Every structure is written in C-alpha cells, then in structure tokens.
Structure 1
Amino acid sequence: MSDNTQEETLPNSSPLMSHSVDRTDELQHVASDAMPTTPSNSPRPANIYVYAMGHVEPRFPNLTVEREFAQVVGRYDTEGQTDMETMHAVLSQRENRYLVRQMCWLFSVERLPTYVLIPRDQSDWDLLVDTIRTSNQSDDLEVVVGLRGPLASPERCGGVVVPVVAFDQLYSFQRDDLLAAIPIPEGVDEGDAEQFRRSASELLDRIMQIADNSGSIDEHRALNYLSVRYPAIYATALAAHREEKSLSAVEVRPSRLGEPEVILNVVFSYTHRRTDVTEKYFVRVNVSGEFPFLVSKLQPYYER
C-alpha cells in the first residue's frame, strides 16, 4: 500500500465596562507555570505536552459572572436567537472581552471533563469564542495543542478540578469537515468516495475511543496527530477493507531510532476476515516537543 499523500489534513478553524475582577494576570501566571523549564540537556519532563481531540464547553465559574453576563445580554437585541447564539454574539464583541477571560472553558474528552483551557497568547481568546456552537451539532470537534500546567482551583470552573492547559493551537471543525478534507487516494474514483469516507470514519472512531486518550501521553499525542494530519492511514484502511481485512489492533511502540529524541512507531494491524492472516503497517512520529512531526512514512512492519 503506497503513501502518495501529503501531511496537513486538518481543516482551517472558522474563526460596556464592568467592575468585575480582571483575571488576566492570574491566567498569564498559570500559562507561565505550564511552560517547560527543564534545561535542554536534562531529561524531558513527563506528560507536559497535550495534543488532544474533544469538545470545548463554556461554563460560568460562579454566580457573579453568570449574573454579569445576564446584565450585558440585556443591552442587546437578541430576538429570535437561541441561548448559544446569544452567548456567541455577546462574547464576540470586543467590549465584552473581559467576560471571555472570566469564563471557564472546559475541554472534555469522550464527555469527561479533562482540561481547563487558557491561551498562552492573549490575542487568542477569540479562538475560544469560536468554539461556541450556534446550533446543536453532535459531531463538532476541537483539537487543542499546548502545555499542561497545574490543577485548576475549584473556583476557576465551578468546582471542577482538572489540569489547566495553556494552548498554542486550537482548531474547531465538524467531524464531516475533517473527513471531507482527507484527500481521496489515487486510483479511487468518485463512485467509491463514500466507501472511503466510511473507512476513514471508522478508523477515526477507533483512535478517539482508545482507553483514556486524553492526549497527554506521548502515545496518544502521536495517534491524535496522525488522525488529523496524516491521510495515508485512512488510505491504508480503505485498501484493507477492499481486501476483506479488518483493523485488529493499533499499537504504539518506542522506536530504536529514538535516542536522544522521543520517536514512536505507530503500528496498524489488519487481519483477513477469512484466513486470520495479519499484516502490519507502521509510521514513525517524533513527539519530543510540543508539535509532533512525521519521521518516516507508512510502510510494512515486520516483527523482529
């Protein structure tokens, strides 16, 4: 199975004064705490980087912020708007940026609260506002890339205590948009495009449903990176399905080429439905830093 596709499949993300306390300094302090401080010649800190797929939900951290938001909403004409449309419209206004900073932006994986998000760059608050859905779409997805910091205080998110992630990248899109952005492999005509989307959708589900995939350990970061940035894994899934093979395992193993970098072999196993013969394919991913990258393309994997 050849790899003639390119990296980068992630669709582009669609992007009255108050007396309440401004938390900018506090948030900048948390973002600073999430920065790696280990010298370059020292062992890399464990589990400091995050590359996760999930959903962002805006929450009021306390009654004070909720009442302040309600007072601000009263100044606007919101006739015919849903609650989420109103929230997006109000928080999108520059004069209401202080409310955006006061909100809790809770990131959940498989419906479980996992992180509280803050931007490392103060100009990126708009990325959080853009995650507010103006319609109820169950297939909405966000991908967050950043640094994991300390646990949030109970007051930050209405009693929810999860780690803070200071993000550098935050992408918002619908699941169908991601699947539509994956290039159709060479040799596949338009009539078979729907079959390709079904194969890609199944593989994406398998990756997202891997146990405890919070995107905070290297193995999960590598998988999540591949799922949104490397279309060759989806082309391989289609070819396997056409040959009556099922995805039987997804494994992540350390590469012998790793030292001193952290390089992982991501191995996809496909087993023939009638003969039980298994073929394996792997791709190498460097996860040493915050932003994973491809080391070698997808190729057959042979046990040693």
Structure 2
Amino acid sequence: MEQEIQEQSANENDTAVVTPAQGDIVEAPPTRATPCPTCAGAASTMAMAYIYALGRIEARFPLLSVEKEFAQVVGQAETAGKTDQQVFHAVLSKPENRYLVRQMCWVFTIQGLETYILQPRNPADFDLLVGAIRPVPGPNDIDIVVGVRGPIAPPEFCNGLMVPIVAFDQIYSFDRDALIEAIPKPEQTTAEQFGPAAEELFSRIMQMTDNAGATDEHRALNYLAVRYPAIYAKAAEEFGRDFSLTGVEVRLSPLSGTRRIVEVIFSFTNRNTDFTEKFFVRVDVTEEFPYLVTKLSPYYDR
C-alpha cells in the first residue's frame, strides 16, 4: 500500500537566547545553534532542540527579596476568604503587578520532576504563564509547552535550580477532563465506552518513560495526544471488539529524507486469540510545530 506525502518547504525558525539576567530576552540570528552563556569559551554553542512537552507550570520565588516584595503587595490587597493559591493567582493576574510576573521563576515539571525553566521568546507572552496558574488547581491540570531548549540555567537564575531553560512560543493550559470531552465521539460508541478508552490511551502516552518532550519520538506522541482525536476513536473501537492496547511504538519513517518524519504505531491484541492488529500515523517533526502527514491507517510489518 503506497502512501503519498506532501512535502513542504522548511523554514528556519529564529531562535532566542535567555541570558542569566531574569527575563532578559535577546534576539539571535536564524541558525540551528545558539550561544551557550554558561559554557566555557565565547565560541561554545549547543545544538537547537525543539520542545513539545506535557506537564505542569509552577511559579516560584527566585530570590528572598522577590518573595518579600510579593508579601508587601498581598498586604495591600483584599484577601479575606481566599485561599493562598487564590491570592497568589489574583496578585499575579493584576496588570500593575506585571513586574512581579517578570521576576518570578517559572518551572515546568513532568511527572513531578523539575524539568525546565520557562522564559517567553516574546515578553508579551508572560500572559500565557499567568494563565497557567489556576486559582483552584486540580490533579488533572495539564500544560503544553512548545519552544526551544537552551542552556542549563546558572545557579543564581532560579534559587539554585539547574535545569535547561526553554524559550517558549506557545503554551496551552487545560485539564484532562476538558480534553476528553472535547474529542469528537464516534457515532457507534457511547460516552460510557469512549471516556475510559480515551483516558487509558492518554495515560499510556503520559506515562511513557522519560517523556520530556525533547526527542522527535516524544514530540510526535505528545502532539498526537492533544491534537489528533482519531487515535482515541480507534482505541474505543478496538476495546469494543475485545482488543487490548498492547503497545505504542515510534519509528523513524523510511520516507524521511530532507525532512524528519516518524511513524507512530499503535498495537491492539485480541484478548481471546492473541491476534494483533496495528495502526499507524506519520508525523513530521522537522521544525518546532509537528504536523500530521498521513492519517491513521493499518500497519503491516515489513
């Protein structure tokens, strides 16, 4: 079975470098390497790495002086009857407190582990960070970060936390229930069947080992998890036929040439006969924003 692929011209994305000065963003020339301010030698560089990661965003105080300034602002606000989290959100949401937003350390955690420090490529995008702080956080809250990974943060940047800095271009914030409800349900599948099927597939992708959203494989998986509902419809259909989800695999496509294309393969095994069916999609991960190349279709081992 032959698949036709439309190839699109690759546009090099401008990169940005986050300097050790908190919130200082400077433009860099359009290249696939960025200067490394924490490396030895002026000529040190590190290869650009795109990020498409699922996790949680937290705002932290990088310095004691910032925490004290925040406390003074809280002392002048109406806070009666509000929880600490609601007060925190209310203070950072006010336009006159934008200077505090720029001073905060924005940490991205994946599976509870501190993975990245976030900085916007455009200062106007601090609003996206504020929007990720919920007044009433829940266990199913999810944030998606799309950006470029930079150097390891120096110790003074975020109270001693030394993880890669990510200059982001986009952030999506939602909760898992809202994602599942927004997925179109197949006509032949009831809500009672579809909900658990979608939950299981999403959880499987989220729990895959070391998914920091930095490799081509993980970026493709994370993209499909939030942008391609057909995989959830197929999972619900297969569960209805008494098949179990037994594998999610990502391989470099043999059609990759000047562009990086991966195949994401979903395996379903019959619970009675052990017969396995496989379905796959192709995703282009050449640039910062992945996109679908071919729709979900049967996969045959070569």
Report the CA distance between 1:36 and its aligned residue: 6.0
User: Is residue 32–residue 48 contact of structure 2 (8 Å, CA) maintained in 1?
Assistant: no
| 3-state SS, counterpart of residue 214 of structure 2 | coil
Look up the match of 1:65: 66
Q: Does 1:99 align with 2:100?
A: yes
**What residue identity is the alignment partner of 1:176?**
D
Q: What percentage of residue pairs aligned between the two structures are identical?
A: 56
The unaligned stretches of length 5 or more in structure 1 are 1-22, 40-44
Given that residues 261 and 286 in structure 1 are in contact (C-alpha distance below 8 angstroms), is that contact kept between their aligned partners in structure 2? yes
Match of 1:240 in 2: 238
TM-score of the two chains, using structure 2 as the length reference: 0.86
The match for 1:204 among 202, 205, 223 is 202
Q: Contact (CA 8 Å) 2:48, 2:150: kept in 1 or not?
A: no
**For the residues of structure 2 that align with 1:47 and 1:254, how far apart are their CA atoms?**
20
Query: Aligned-pair distance for 1:158?
Result: 1.7
Comparing 129-138 with 100-109, greater Cα deviation is found at 129-138
- Partners of 2:30 and 2:255 lie apart in 1 by 24
Mapping for residues 214-225 of structure 1, pairs under 5 Å: 214-225=212-223
Verify the 8 A CA contact 1:24 1:101 in the aligned structure 2. no
Q: Report the Cα distance in structure 1 between the residues aligned to 2:294 and 2:227, rounded to whole angstroms.
A: 14
Aligned equivalent of 1:113: 114
1:229 equivalent in structure 2: 227
Contact 1:250 1:267 in 2 (8 A): yes
May I ask how many residue pairs the two structures share in their alignment?
272
How far the C-alpha of 1:25 sits from its partner, in A, is 6.6
Q: Shift of the alpha carbon at 1:270?
A: 0.6
TM-score of the aligned structures, taking structure 1 as reference length:
0.86
In structure 2, distance between residues paired with 1:24 and 1:101: 13
Match status 1:284 vs 2:282:
yes
Whole-angstrom distance in 1 between the partners of 2:257 and 2:62: 44
Contact 1:179 1:201 in 2 (8 A): yes
Letter in structure 2 aligned against 1:57? E
Matched to 2:186, the amino acid is P
Distance 1:46 1:274 in 2: 49
Query: How large is the RMSD of aligned CA atoms in angstroms?
Result: 1.8
C-alpha distance after superposition, 1:103-155 (max 9, x if no partner)? 01110000000011111111111111111121141110001111111111222
- Displacement after TM superposition at 1:32 (Å): 4.2
Match of 1:256 in 2: 254
Q: Distance in 2 between matches of 1:64 and 1:46?
A: 35
Which residue is equivalent to 2:31? 37
**Larger strand fraction of residues:** 2
Runs of 4+ in structure 1 displaced over 6 angstroms?
none
Q: Secondary structure in 1 aligned to 2:23?
A: helix
- Alpha-carbon deviation of 1:87? 1.1
Matched residues in 2 for 1:183 and 1:110: separation? 27
* Deviation (angstroms), 1:26: 5.0
Partner of 2:144: 143
Partner of 1:76 in structure 2? 77
CA–CA separation in structure 2 for the residues paired with 1:27 and 1:79:
32
The DSSP-based 3-state class of the residue aligned with 2:220 is helix
Higher relative contact order (CA 8 A, sep 6+): 1
- Asked if structure 1 preserves the Cα contact closer than 8 Å seen for 2:20 and 2:157, the reply is no
Name the CA distance, whole Å, in 2 between partners of 1:139 and 1:77: 29
